[in-house]
Structure 1
Amino acid sequence: MNAPLRFLAASALLLASLTTAQAQTPAAGKPAAEFTGAVADKAEYKVVYQLDSDDPKLIKQTLRNMKNALEDPRLKGKLQMELVAYGGGTDVFRQAQPYEADIKALQQQGVLLAQCLNTMKERKISKDELFPFISYVPTGNGELIIRQAQGWAIVHP
């Protein structure tokens, strides 16, 4: 590259860096705007949480994340939520596990609780082993595919 072109390229880089630095620096005497998160400007949000692990820490984390989302002031009254359990995640709905109070609390807030029937068939799990207040879907993956196509966000903690 000849000298004039190198000078132009260097000048362009310098100008770009100065413009970027200036855009990130508040004007003299004005405080920097504080970022407070995304603005929930839609009337409704839809999310499905998928749970496919029997790890108690992950199950508790998923339930806590769901509760936190329901309590987010930006989303209050705007959130439709579903929990889809399959594979090892079926433990969240087992009567022998300690999650009943948490999932009942979510259900009382309108959360759909869906168990994969395919997992139950493969693992020979009876509906009698699960809480009587949950719903069933043919396959967990099918539910996720359909929900995503319907515009639902999918969260896999």
Structure 2
Amino acid sequence: MKRYRAVFHLTEIERANLALNNVNNLLAELGEDQVDIELVTNSEGIKALLKAGPYRDKVGDLAAKGVRFVLCSKSLRALKMKEEEFITIAEVVPSGTGELVKRQTEGWAYVRP
């Protein structure tokens, strides 16, 4: 059976709900066991992964379904935020853009809600 891979790119906090809904819809359509999904956040999009943010529960539910969440360390520094402010399941990478390029080079579908 075919395995799908999609990397979602979130740069704007205002689009967080749309991005998370898109991820959930893709899981529902293709099947949780048939798709690998990663949500890469950078710029203001990192705020979707705040511990005290409004998306915490939705992010937790998606993580339980196997979705990987990524924070850009350059955005953390630029916005003067600390890693401790974010959900523990979020992985910090050196660069969100670098992560996107790596995934696309590996053949992942790029989605920008």
Considering the TM-score relative to the shorter chain, is it more than 0.5? yes
Mapping of 1:26-41 within 5 angstroms? none
Instruction: Provide structure 1 residue ranges, at least 5 long, that are not aligned to the other structure.
Output: 1-41
Q: Secondary structure at the match of 1:146?
A: helix
**Letter aligned with residue 153 of structure 1:** A
CA distance in structure 2 between the partners assigned to 1:151 and 1:133 by the alignment: 24
CA distance in structure 2 between the partners assigned to 1:96 and 1:112 by the alignment: 19
State the structure with more CA Rg: 1
| Residue in 2 that maps onto 1:137 | 93
| Residue in 2 that maps onto 1:126 | 82
Of 89, 93, 96, the match for 2:45: 89
Mapping of 1:5-154 within 5 angstroms? 43-55=2-14, 58-72=15-29, 75-76=30-31, 77-154=33-110
Number of residues of Structure 1 aligned to a counterpart in Structure 2: 112
Q: Secondary structure at the match of 2:81?
A: coil
Shift of 1:133: 2.0
Q: Which has the higher contact order (CA 8 A, sep 6+)?
A: 2
CA distance in structure 2 between the partners assigned to 1:141 and 1:60 by the alignment: 21
Q: Secondary structure at the match of 2:102?
A: helix
| Residue in 2 that maps onto 1:38 | none
Higher strand share: 2
Query: Normalising to structure 1: TM-score of the pair?
Result: 0.69
Instruction: Provide structure 2 residue ranges, at least 5 long, that are not aligned to the other structure.
Output: none
Query: Normalising to structure 2: TM-score of the pair?
Result: 0.94
Displaced runs of 4 or more, over 2 A: none
